[in-house]
Structure 1
Amino acid sequence: MPSPRFAFGRSEDAAYADTMRATLSEFIATALFVFAAEGSILSLGKLYTDTSTPGGLVVVAIAHALALSVAVAVAFNISGGHVNPAVTLGALVGGRVSLVRAIFYWVAQLLGAVVAALLLRVATGGMRPLGFSVASGVSVWNALLLEIVMTFGLVYTVYATAIDPKRGHLGTIAPLAIGFIVGANILAGGPFDGAAMNPARVFGPALVSGRWTSHWVYWVGPFIGAALAGLTYEFLVIPEETTPARTHQPLAPEDY
């Protein structure tokens, strides 16, 4: 069983140019993703009175899949393309990123989501982002379990295609694979709780719109699912001999 070191990092990491570049990359990539993803929902609301249709669900799933694929791709070589606090947590518990760098990523991701939601509200003439909420007739515990399972699948996919040292050429399709699993999960869980899998994706629109119903579900669920996926893949799947300890060193794609 591999034993990667949990790296706290050093306070000096904050002054490293590569840390600042990676943080900025996470900010921009998350903003791009949230703007396109939430914007697709607002666009449907502009075009149709009722967006809760099978066709609307497919459109939203495709928009999220494409937007996330691009966001991961444009940040991958700089920050690892997390674009999601849950993914960063999964990498943290697996020893693939230091705590100091993870904190910088979390701040950047949340700020990027807020800026994207604000830009959307201004650009659409004051339309409030819809954000996420648990559907009528669905309990918060059902939604919590959904978020755990869906985020587990997302972070497991991230590990398999972007982190695993033996991924080989599979790494070239990592952004597409990550986007596809999110799109598929939206088709599976969207009608129940929106299928967030990303606390930043939920936080930005919630802050701008003031809609906080069952907001805790979209933090607790993804974080539990991400931690389980990171620990499972890191300790049970990745071969011990190919898992060096991770430190505060700059992220390369293999240090995603």
Structure 2
Amino acid sequence: MAKIALGNHSEAAQPDCVRAVLAEVVLTFLFVFAGVGAAMAAGKMSGGGDTIMALSAVAIAHTLVVAVMISAGLHISGGHLNPAVTLGLAVGGHITLIRSVLYILAQLLGSSVACLLLKYLTGGLETPVHTLAAGMGSFQGVIMEIVLTFSLLFTVYATIVDPKKGIIAGLGPLLVGLVVGANIFAGGPFSGASMNPARSFGPALAAGDWSDHWVYWVGPIIGGGLAGLVYENIFIVSTHAPLARDDEGF
């Protein structure tokens, strides 16, 4: 069952909300600049061909920048960087819908500026867009993105959101980065492994190529929302009762 909180329109003017939204612009800009920049560099060095080295470079770059940017923004905005993460957390009641909309607009802005700047700095080199591989239909692409984004949000809930997470404090962002990298290895050659509508939006805007773009909204939003519903309603324990002890009463 969803635990959605609408929020109040006055929330947008609150100082903490303003700081959080600005943080999402900056964090998403830095994330996309490094992620898309790495993809552009890998493509240039490999002659535009799809190679395991190019895929590895992109996966590793995304692993590192996701982990660092979440860590950098965790205490300000939560370090979402991703509309699917924002909506997945909204389903669990961890962010209001009002703030969610502001976050998503901020993420799209940060991604767009990053990609337009990359295109300018590289002398007009096209930003690589997420598209479906030959032989993969739209439905298959949506399912792939649902599974990959479910994996991402399930990890976010399990390692960052869950109050009873059994990991060392501060390790959550690294683990989220690692699952992003693993998912790129698994899904990159097929759907592009976006998991993030903002990550797909910036390159598409800069390149003017919207082929299959809807897939990278529908898949991640469904996957993120489903993960939020599943984890929040099944795995998070809001109360704790101590286990019975054999020696109780002594």
Between Structure 1 and Structure 2, how many residues are aligned? Answer: 240
**What secondary structure, in the 3-state scheme, does the structure 2 residue paired with 1:77 have?**
coil
Q: Which one has more relative contact order, counting CA pairs under 8 Å at least 6 apart?
A: 1
Paired residues for 1:11-160 under 5 Å: 11-160=9-158
The answer to whether the aligner puts 1:195 opposite 2:193 as a matched pair is yes
Instruction: Give the structure with higher Rg (CA).
Output: 2
Which aligned runs of 4 or more in structure 1 are off by greater than 4 angstroms? none
- How far did residue 241 of structure 1 move? 2.0
Cα separation, 1, equivalents of 2:130 and 2:43:
15
**What secondary structure, in the 3-state scheme, does the structure 2 residue paired with 1:196 have?**
coil
Cα separation, 1, equivalents of 2:146 and 2:126:
27
Cα separation, 1, equivalents of 2:20 and 2:11:
12
Cα separation, 1, equivalents of 2:2 and 2:153:
18
- How far did residue 73 of structure 1 move? 1.1
- CA-based RMSD of the aligned residues comes to 1.3
Gaps of 5+ in 1: 243-256
- How far did residue 48 of structure 1 move? 2.3
Cα separation, 2, equivalents of 1:135 and 1:170:
39
Report if aligned partners of 1:44, 1:51 keep a CA contact under 8 Å in 2. Answer: no
- Give the helix-richer structure, 1 or 2: 1
Percent identity of equivalent pairs? 50
Paired residues for 1:202-221 under 5 Å: 202-221=200-219
Cα separation, 1, equivalents of 2:153 and 2:112:
23
Cα separation, 1, equivalents of 2:64 and 2:195:
16
Report if aligned partners of 1:128, 1:209 keep a CA contact under 8 Å in 2. Answer: yes
Calculate the TM-score normalised by the size of structure 1: 0.91
Gaps of 5+ in 2: 241-250
Calculate the TM-score normalised by the size of structure 2: 0.93
Spell out, residue by residue over 1:139-175, the C-alpha distance to the aligned partner (whole angstroms, 9 max, x if none): 1111111000000000000000110011254441111
- How far did residue 15 of structure 1 move? 0.8
